[in-house]
Structure 1
Amino acid sequence: MRDSGVENNYAVPADTYRERSPRRKRTGAAIFFAILWLALIAGGVYGTKWYSDRIQRQVSADLERQTAAQLAAMQQDYESRFAQLETDFEEQMTQLESQVQTLNELLTFAKDNADTKTDNSNKLYTQLAEVKKQLNELKKSLDVLK
């Protein structure tokens, strides 16, 4: 009956088998899963990068705040110490000036009362010179601090 020219309704063209072959279905599923895995990996990489950048910004901001607080504390401590040093130098200057004044008075009194006793006068002048020298050194120190 093959030669009769009647087609067999049950015959399937060869192209149909190729399109519906299980191998082609597996290849499409494999490509889908490969694309899915690549998308998941890319998402993970992006998420990791985003999270690490966020943490880095937070750490940087925390360090900046801590540094600013420490600098402010150090500056306040420095200013208080400087003010204390300045006060101490002013007190020492006042004391030395009073000592110089006292020595000047003693020197004047000793000079007026004892013209013949030049040794005592020389000792007082020497002491006065030493006190003036100390006063000048303290003034220089104060100028350096300012």
Structure 2
Amino acid sequence: MSDLILEQRTASQFESKTRKKKGNRAFLLFVCVWMIILCSGILGAKWYADRIQQTLSADLERQTASQITAMQEAYEARMLQLETSYAADLAELKTKVDALNELLTFTKDNADSKTDNSNKLYTQLNEVKKQLDELKKNLDVLK
């Protein structure tokens, strides 16, 4: 009978060892699969976030470039308009200066005792020349 008891004890010890080994293997397998799923989820989320960020930055860059282009075109159109208006103003002022110059010459030729009128015309001519110089400076500044 002691042999029978001894055999039962050794058999039960063997069964408990195999159960522990099988339980440990199943737990390790479960942990490994769980870690793989967790890591792949984290990597997938990071990849998705990076892709969204790249898409948003490309869209923002494209919008910024189009806005800059529109602003440059509007600026160039305004500058062209200002240049043409200044050129027209300068041409008009030049014709006025020429007319005053002719009138001054005519007045100087015809006036012996009328020096006051020629002085007035000369003063007006100088004022017009000053305005012409100011307009030229403003045009240079705008360029």
TM-score w.r.t. the length of structure 1 is 0.86
Matches of 2:140 and 2:14, distance apart in 1 = 104
Unaligned runs of 5+ in 2: none
Unpaired runs of 5+ residues, structure 1, are none
Cα distance in 1 for residues equivalent to 2:43 and 2:122: 86
> Percent of aligned pairs with the same residue?
55
- Tell me which of 135, 138, 141 is aligned to 1:138: 135
For 1:108, give the aligned amino acid: T
Q: Aligned with 2:112: secondary structure?
A: coil
**Alpha-carbon separation, structure 1, partners of 2:35 and 2:75:** 59
Letter of the structure 2 residue corresponding to residue 77 of structure 1: A
Where does residue 81 of structure 2 map in the other structure? 84
The CA RMSD measured in Å over matched residues stands at 1.8
Which amino acid counterpart does residue 55 of structure 1 have in structure 2? Answer: I
Match of 2:67 in 1: 70
Aligned to 1:113: 110
Higher helix share: 2
Larger mean CA deviation between 73-82 and 102-111 belongs to: 102-111
Deviation string 1:85-141 (CA, Å, 9 cap, x unpaired) is 110110010011011011011111211222101111110000000000011111111
One of 35, 48, 52 as aligned partner of 1:51: 48
Which among 18, 21, 44 is matched to residue 20 of structure 1? 18
Q: Look up the match of 2:27.
A: 30
Q: Deviations over 1:14-65 (max 9, x none)?
A: 46324432x3322221111111111111011100110001001001100110
In the alignment of these two chains, the number of paired residues is 139
